[in-house]
Structure 1
Amino acid sequence: MSKPDNPNPSLKNVVVIATGGTIAGSGASGKTTNYTAGVYDVKALTDSVEGLDKIANIMGVQVCNVGSDDLKYENWISIANLINKLSTDDSIAGFVITHGTDTLDESAYFLNMVVKTDKPVVITGAMRPATAISADGPMNIYQSVALAASKDAVGKGVMVVFSDGIYGARDVQKVNTSKTGAFGENDLGSFGFMRDDVPYFYNQSTKPHTTKTEFSVDGLTTLPKVGIAYFSVEADPGELDYMAEHYDGVVVAGAGSGCMSEAWTKKLGELESKNIPVVRTSRIANGNIAGDDYFDHYKNMIVGSNLAPHKARILLQLALTKTKNIDQIKTMFEKY
């Protein structure tokens, strides 16, 4: 772990954990497309942010340097273990993770469920590579470090900072493929916003996170296999047979309020005899899934509430590290 040559004793210490992504990307001068992600290392990233050394003493760790589509479970587990270890150091105030935006919300939610510290953990990225005109990465890093060093951020779980917004890990989603304001929480709103280096909080999650969950990465090297089945008109239920043979659980991204055809419903109900849990979620970004006797009379069917399909997948994976009891897994989905 790199450390500053001349730390300022009046400033807090923040660890920046770099994983790659667009924020560390390089391309043709000034362009925002056709670039290579994960080129610059953590020192190059932090050194490029003017005034960063005026708000915190920066320590850097390079975990990997890839586009976030190429992250592995071992990377998630490694980051969680690193934070859990370093968080016991009283001299460290908080953590910032620089990350590709494609799967940033997945990493945020996983860490929100397994990191065991109340110290701020903030994830950020960029929509423009470091070589682009008006690159957004430096400001996102600056504000993330400021948030990680703030006493007001303690105990709020893992957060995402992006384009002045502060978002909770459970509900944040990438909502635009190209704009710099790429993240939001849809109908739940944000935790607050950043103005320069000052956070303003107005909301927080009521769901348990970090130190309040039963989940842990202790002893984990990977996660159970859970597939996401995307329903559409005349979707072939045969793909569910494949999942039944190769996966420990299934998440359905259903139409509307988690709905699917009679053929899909019956096929998923057949998994009841194999004790394979099936979580109903929606391909719609807003709203929640309520219980429905038509689907949920099968004992293996679980209501996904308002979790996005890819986050319901993470919760089911973590649940399966603790139990295969369907009723206990249902309780976890109600709780988290």
Structure 2
Amino acid sequence: MTVSPPSPYDPDAGASDSGKASSRRRQPRIVLLGMGGTIASSAGVATQLHDYTVTDTVEAVLAAVPQAHELADIRCEQLANIDSHAIDNAMLLQLARRAEAILQDPEVDGLVITHGTDTLEETAYFLNLTLKSAKPVVLVGAMRPATALSADGPLNLHNAIRLAACAEASGMGVLVMLNDRIGAARYVTKASTTVTDAFRSFEHGNLGEIAGSVVYLFNTPTRLHTLATDFSLAAIDELPHVDILYDYQGAGSHLYRAAIDAGARGIVLAATGNGSLSPAARLGAELATQRGVMFVRSSRVGQGVVTSLADDESLGLVAAGSLNPQKARVLLMLALGRTRDFRLIQGYFDRY
């Protein structure tokens, strides 16, 4: 068996052979929690990279990576087995509560969650804001099904387990491990529809990478997360209805009315440029304010910071900062559980 080179954070580095043997008997205990997604999918032929189906249990996913057992003592648990675009608020809360319960077990050193990539960043950011633990939590997925030529899931999973077993990943918030890159839940996003190198942290950079079987961590998230946030799962019974609307040339105001009439407690606008409001969007914002619906200006651009503007104060609007619309929705849902003051909610967007 080829022995992997020691990580820069390997506590065995420089230890005697007997010390290393003792350490190997005390492997990190990692729970592998399955949610489904492409990493657990299969297709009819090896060249079929699309139109596949979730078929495999998390145990089957792990069985394809026997080398992972050299890294940790792994326990599998299946919570769901679905495409991630089917995850709703109730399931998101169920996942978060189960993850927190697992992390509270003193025998558990870290958690890896297999997840579809379509909404992986939303789940990761929700967990980043709500889990009250410093233990490593790593979300992992795949862009190709397990049956594909050059399937990326097995190596992604191996790397995720290696990262969750790394002591220096503690206290970093929820992490995302795909294509050798280590991303922070707050910053990483899916930036391509089908390529294996789909997840990027354009403006903020990755936290690190795994190269040569070694975990390299270069950066630390500065936004508040996990133990440092005001959000507690124990205080949440259900998540409020928050819609995302898209602005464009010639847009009408009917979708704003529809969202408000449907009971939305918040609206996130995927606006043009720096969260600019078209005439229809401005009317929608005014209607939302009149009806007590919180309104957040994000951007459809995909990069950059949406800054506060003069109209925000008069209209009671919130600037999303560098959060994309889907993550702004996650934060707004949680913020609305604590306050309806747009200034206090703006504070959450500034700090988280």
TM-score computed with the length of structure 1 as normaliser: 0.94
Kindly provide the amino acid, as one letter, of the partner of residue 257 in structure 1.
Answer: N
Q: 1:11 to 1:322 in 2, by over 3 A?
A: same
The reply on whether 1:131 has 2:127 as its aligned counterpart is no
Of residues 34, 42, 67 in structure 2, which corresponds to 1:26? 42
1:87 match: secondary structure: helix
Of residues 287, 309, 321 in structure 2, which corresponds to 1:270? 287
Contact 1:230–1:254 (CA under 8 A) maintained in structure 2:
yes
Alignment deviations for residues 119-176 of structure 1 (CA, whole Å, 9 cap, x no partner): 0000010011011111100000000000000001000000000000000001110011
Contact 2:251–2:280 (CA under 8 A) maintained in structure 1:
no
Alignment deviations for residues 197-247 of structure 1 (CA, whole Å, 9 cap, x no partner): 421111121110011111122253431001111000011112111122220
Identity over aligned pairs, percent: 35
Give the length in aligned residue pairs. 328
Matches of 1:72 and 1:57, distance apart in 2? 31
2:203 match: secondary structure: helix
Question: How far has the Cα of 1:274 moved from its partner?
Answer: 2.2
Contact 1:96–1:123 (CA under 8 A) maintained in structure 2:
yes
Contact 1:147–1:153 (CA under 8 A) maintained in structure 2:
yes
Matches of 1:256 and 1:219, distance apart in 2? 36
Matches of 2:59 and 2:194, distance apart in 1? 26
- What's the counterpart of residue 230 of structure 2? 214
**Which stretch shows the higher mean deviation, 244-253 or 189-198?**
189-198
Of residues 97, 101, 115 in structure 1, which corresponds to 2:117? 101
Q: Output aligned runs, 1:190-201, within 5 Å.
A: 190-201=206-217
Q: For structure 2, list consecutive stretches of 5 or more residues without a partner in the other structure.
A: 1-23
Of residues 74, 86, 92 in structure 1, which corresponds to 2:102? 86
Q: 1:197 to 1:37 in 2, by over 3 A?
A: farther
Q: Output aligned runs, 1:283-302, within 5 Å.
A: 283-293=300-310, 295-302=311-318
Matches of 2:170 and 2:305, distance apart in 1? 29
**Which stretch shows the higher mean deviation, 72-81 or 154-163?**
72-81
- What's the counterpart of residue 66 of structure 1? 82
The reply on whether 1:261 has 2:278 as its aligned counterpart is yes
Contact 2:156–2:179 (CA under 8 A) maintained in structure 1:
yes
Question: How far has the Cα of 1:40 moved from its partner?
Answer: 0.5
Question: How far has the Cα of 1:296 moved from its partner?
Answer: 1.4
Contact 1:74–1:221 (CA under 8 A) maintained in structure 2:
no
Alignment deviations for residues 83-117 of structure 1 (CA, whole Å, 9 cap, x no partner): 21122222211000001110010110011001110
1:206 match: secondary structure: coil
Matches of 1:72 and 1:135, distance apart in 2? 28
Q: Output aligned runs, 1:141-156, within 5 Å.
A: 141-156=157-172
- What's the counterpart of residue 316 of structure 1? 332
**Which stretch shows the higher mean deviation, 107-116 or 192-201?**
192-201
The reply on whether 1:189 has 2:205 as its aligned counterpart is yes
Question: How far has the Cα of 1:31 moved from its partner?
Answer: 2.3
- What's the counterpart of residue 220 of structure 2? 204
Matches of 1:298 and 1:66, distance apart in 2? 44
1:302 match: secondary structure: strand
Matches of 1:310 and 1:262, distance apart in 2? 23
The reply on whether 1:75 has 2:97 as its aligned counterpart is no
Q: For structure 1, list consecutive stretches of 5 or more residues without a partner in the other structure.
A: 1-7
Kindly provide the amino acid, as one letter, of the partner of residue 243 in structure 1.
Answer: A
Matches of 1:299 and 1:211, distance apart in 2? 33
Of residues 280, 287, 291 in structure 1, which corresponds to 2:297? 280
The reply on whether 1:167 has 2:178 as its aligned counterpart is no
Of residues 57, 60, 68 in structure 2, which corresponds to 1:41? 57
Contact 1:35–1:129 (CA under 8 A) maintained in structure 2:
no
2:116 match: secondary structure: coil
**Which stretch shows the higher mean deviation, 17-26 or 71-80?**
71-80
Matches of 2:105 and 2:212, distance apart in 1? 28
Kindly provide the amino acid, as one letter, of the partner of residue 274 in structure 1.
Answer: R
Kindly provide the amino acid, as one letter, of the partner of residue 80 in structure 1.
Answer: A
Matches of 2:50 and 2:57, distance apart in 1? 19
CA RMSD, aligned part only?
A: 1.4
2:30 match: secondary structure: strand
Q: 1:11 to 1:99 in 2, by over 3 A?
A: same
1:51 match: secondary structure: helix
Kindly provide the amino acid, as one letter, of the partner of residue 192 in structure 1.
Answer: G
